Each structure stands twice: as C-alpha cells, then as structure tokens.
Amino acid sequence: MNAATNMKSVVFETYGGPDRLSVRSLPVPNPSKGEIRVKVRATTVNRTDTATLRGHPFFARAMTGLILPKMRTLGMDFAGEVDALGDGASRFNVGDRVFGLSPDMFGAHAEFMCVPDDGAIAQIPGDIPFDQAVVAEGAWYAHGTTQLLSEGGSCLIYGASGAIGTAAVQLAKANAARVVAVVGTRHLDLAEALGADHVVNYETEDFTGIGETFDVVFDAVGKTSYFACRPLLKNDGIFAATDLGPGWSNILLGAFFGLTGTGRVRIPFPEDASGFVRRLADLMAQGRFRGVFDRTYSLDEIVEAFRYVEKGQKTGIVVVSLR
C-alpha cells in the first residue's frame, strides 16, 4: 500500500463554471473488494467534464444530481500506475502501467483513484508515456458512431480535429471505411496524416455539395445539423451527432425516426467501455491509433484548463499532468 495518506483532488460542490473548482487535500482512497487503486499520472479535461460541471443539459441531472452534484471530482480519462489491490483483484499487479475510463463515477482529477479491476482499464502498450495514453474518452464516444459502419462503408466526419473527431477518423479507418474529414484550414494536414481518404476545408468549400453520399455522416462537434447534411446521406444513411442540435433537433428527430424504425438520426451512446478499452489498447499496440494532443496543464491549473476547453477551439485532447 502507498504510504501517502492525503492527496490533491479537484472538487466542486455546486454546478456552475470553472470558478467552482478548487484543489483540496483529501484522504487517499482505499480499494474495496474487486477494485484497484491507481496513482494517476495524467488525465484530461473534455466536453463531458465541462458539461457535467455546469449540469448541462438539465435532464442529465437525473443521473448527476438534480440540485447538487452527486460526484464531486470530475475526470473520466486516466493513465497511471497500479498502486494497490483490493481483495479479489487479480487482473493487474502493483506497478503495472495502465490507462482507461471511469464512465460512471469519474474521479480522475485527483492523485489517486479506485476503479473496478474488471472495468474499463488496460495496460498501456509498450513505452507510451502517461501523458500520451489518456486517449480513451474521446475514442469511446467516437466508437458509438463508428460501430454503426459496416466494414468497407463510408463516413463523413464533420469536425475531425477534436478529441472525438480525430479518434473517429482512426477508428473508421480501422474498420476499413472510406473517410471524408471536414476541418478548417489549420487542420488539413492533421486530417490527412490520420488517414482520411479525402479532406474538405469547410472555410473555403461547401462540404454539403461535394457530390458524394455516405452511410454515416457524423457531426463530432455539434456545429451542423441533419437538415444541412441530408444531401450527403444515402437512402439508408445515418446522421449521428454528439450534441442535442439546434433547438434540440437531434433529440426530436432521433425520437421521430426511431418511431418510424429507420433510426436515421441518432445520438449514439457508446456501450461496453471495458471491451472497447481493451480493443483500443490493441490498436495502439499495432500503431493503428494514436492520440492527438493540444496542450498540457498541471492539476493546479485545472480552472484554466476548463476555461480553455469551454472555448470550443481545442485540437484533440487537453491533458492534465500529475507527475
């Protein structure tokens, strides 16, 4: 067991903006039966964190707490070292380098966290540094859409430069799909390097008029709509999004098309986080998936990290280092 008794943890007591966050000293948690404790070396700040902090959308508070948040420490993505084992935990050894997700309880914005031994966690392949192994959160959400693609299908990804979009390009290519990436001028080379078959610059070209239709059109940043993208869809094509859409249109259209049995508009929620993280580890080991990183903050700079992510202009992943 680690000799430390206290740790730094980022805490919030009420919903609101980044100013609600504070770094506090809390007791180091002890793993329960079937859990492991991870000494966190790196985590991320992402759209899920910023939305949860603000309690947005409001209906999500049914899970996170109606008036006050149930969880007080955010952070879904983590990479670090196994520090202690609870009774019955056998998948890992103390000292193993691991990465993964805590999709239910979060908690990675702290120096130590406990997670289920059989949860969404895997060994970091090779000698990938901790701050380059926090890649699972955006990839998991991207997987919710790319899993809709049949092998050899076609996909247009709007916003292929964020954490979700860059992951979606790589996961779709891993599924042998044809990928068209839509990005701004400064990200053209990035999208091509990630493996996109064709890259469209939305700043100089109308991406909806490229003369091609797709099995899946994926809005990875919540900045377009089904109505704008309808000309891009095959007769049985799917518009997928990570956002509610203008006037909650994605929710309403998803319900409508769900009733008709076509499922033409979806906000896919990914499942099987445990299985996905293990698959992601395999792709990383094969050199078929890598993280794209914007910038790194320290834990003491967590407020600045949240403010930056809320600007909506990040490229890939924003890392918080706890080394």
| Residue 146 · residue 178 · CB < 8 Å | no
pLDDT digits (tens, 9 = 90+) for 222-262: 889 999 999 999 999 999 998 866 766 777 777 777 777 67
| Percentage of the chain modeled with pLDDT above 70 | 97
- Report the candidate in 28, 43, 121, 26 with the shortest Cα–Cα distance to residue 82: 121
CATH number for the domain running over 6-135+291-321: 3.90.180.10
Measured CA to CA, the distance from residue 18 to residue 12 in angstroms comes to 9
| Residue 76 · residue 49 · CB < 8 Å | yes
E-state strands within the chain: 6-11, 22-27, 35-45, 77-85, 97-101, 112-116, 121-123, 154-158, 178-183, 198-201, 214-219, 233-241, 265-266, 293-298, 317-321
Would you kindly state where each structural domain of the chain is located, as residue ranges?
A: 6-135+291-321, 138-266
**Three-state SS at 155:** strand
pLDDT for res 1: 46
pLDDT for res 242: 86
Please list, in sequence order, all residues whose beta carbon lies within 8 angstroms of the beta carbon of residue 275, skipping any fewer than 6 positions away.
Answer: none
pLDDT at 88 over 80: yes
pLDDT for res 245: 66
pLDDT at 300 over 50: yes
User: Can you read off the two tokens belonging to residue 235?
Assistant: 């007769």
**Three-state SS at 252:** helix
Task: Report which DSSP code applies to 130.
Answer: G
Torsion angle of C-alpha atoms 137, 107, 70, 136, degrees rounded to 10: 10
CATH topology of domain 138-266: Rossmann fold (3.40.50)
Give the pLDDT band (50/70/90) at residue 2: low
CA angle 270, 125, 39 (to 5 degrees): 80
Beta-bridge mates of residue 176: none
Measured CA to CA, the distance from residue 141 to residue 148 in angstroms comes to 12
Measured CA to CA, the distance from residue 313 to residue 323 in angstroms comes to 26
Q: In angstroms, what CA-CA distances link 258 with 166, 219, 244, 262?
A: 28, 19, 15, 6
pLDDT digits (tens, 9 = 90+) for 120-174: 999 999 999 999 999 999 999 999 999 999 889 999 999 999 999 999 999 999 9
pLDDT digits (tens, 9 = 90+) for 191-227: 999 999 999 999 999 999 999 999 999 999 988 999 9
Distance of alpha carbon 185 from its chain centroid, rounded? 24
Measured CA to CA, the distance from residue 176 to residue 181 in angstroms comes to 15
pLDDT at 25 over 70: yes
| Biggest CA-to-CA distance, the chain | 63
pLDDT digits (tens, 9 = 90+) for 62-78: 888 889 999 999 999 99
E-state strands within 86-153: 97-101, 112-116, 121-123
| Percentage of the chain modeled with pLDDT above 90 | 83
